[in-house]
Amino acid sequence: MMEKNKTALGELACLFLKLGVTAFGGPAAHIAMMEDEVVTRRKWIDSGHFLDMVGATNLIPGPNSTEMAIHIGLLRAGWRGAVVAGACFIIPAVTLTTCLAWLYVLSGSVPSMAPFFRGVKPAVIMIVLNALWRLGRKGIKTYSNCIVACVAVFLCIVGVNPLACLFFGGVLGLLLNVVNPAKHFLWLCVGLVNFGFMVVNGVSTCTGFIGSFFHSAALSAVQKTESVSLFKIMLFFLKVGAILYGSGYVLMAFIEEELVISNQWISSSQLVDAIAVGQLTPGPVLSTAAFIGFLLAGMSGAFIAAVSIFAPSFLFVGVLPLLIDRLRASKMTSAFLDGVNSSVVV
């Protein structure tokens, strides 16, 4: 399904600059707006493949909506399209966030935009609901898809990790479509529970290992200086960009643990203000990294933090077309992806 050079780079740039400036409301709203633009209006991608892209994006580290922008650019114009689409989606948010950081350093506060958001929220909600309806009709087509969606809703309600919910949905979809569930009901239940614990523990272990590696490298590189160097800023945000799963909001937990508690680079009040800026700006929430980078090392820090946190996403997206093709190549893995898709849309 990967066909290059179908869309001019200028058209991609205009579209994703527009989305980068107007996409308020978080990753769900961003993806809903992309679906409206590239599936409904321009018909660049059919809804089934777009849903596969959303499902596969949720299986790799990095901010989902940013990776969707990069993937759409890759699909329409190769690697040049990926760079153009990703950069145009990211740059408006990073630029605005850096300007707000500069104002914050001068005035010590973040400007209030509460009246603006009271007007924007209803529109964002309608965009998301509309996209969910369209994608839901494509992703929940069968009885087994409906079961997977209901299980995913229940798991989310009881507080199960979102990544574990996706893998649960994928395995359940595989079993319901490939294995006779009535014949193997007990095995099915036990297998799902065990798999869930494996996913949660595996992700935690992998994340901890990679995080420890980057953290140790950063400490050894800067142990002779008390200041926060650009190299240390780069290593931290590369680590976050490389191991972050799900939406950009997970970033806040990383920042609180390492930058506020462990390293004490910023204060709790500065973290709260950084989160507020992330809510104020359109585009990817990870642009918050530029705000923190500016607080730590001025304009250079903002640039290094922004480039470092988004760079891994461009590399990860390179494997997505291959991942989708491989998953669709057999009945079993295709059923797994269908299960993931059913979980994603709810």
16 phi, psi to nearest 5 deg = -80, -20
Q: What pLDDT, in 10s, does the model give residues 233-268? A: 999 999 888 887 755 555 666 677 788 888 888 988
Tell the burial category of 102 from Cβ atoms under 10 Å away from its Cβ (0-12, 13-18, 19+): middle
Amino acid at site 306: A
The percentage of residues in the chain with a pLDDT greater than 70, rounded to a whole number, is 62
Count of CB atoms situated within 10 Å of the CB of 208: 12
Domain that holds residue 189: 7-346
Q: What pLDDT, in 10s, does the model give residues 289-346? A: 999 999 999 999 999 999 999 999 999 998 888 777 777 776 666 776 666 656 655 5
Whole-number Cα distances in Å, 75 to 39, 78, 83, 318, 321: 13, 6, 12, 10, 8
Is residue 118 over pLDDT 50? Answer: yes
Q: What pLDDT, in 10s, does the model give residues 41-85? A: 999 999 888 988 888 887 788 888 999 999 999 999 999 999 999
- Written as six digits, the tokens of 164 are 């574990």
* Domain-embedded: residue 2: no
What's residue 212's pLDDT?
A: 46
Is residue 187 over pLDDT 60? Answer: no
Q: What pLDDT, in 10s, does the model give residues 129-156? A: 655 555 555 556 666 667 777 777 777 6
Structural domain count of the chain: 1
* Domain-embedded: residue 334: yes
Q: What pLDDT, in 10s, does the model give residues 151-180? A: 777 776 776 666 677 677 777 777 776 655
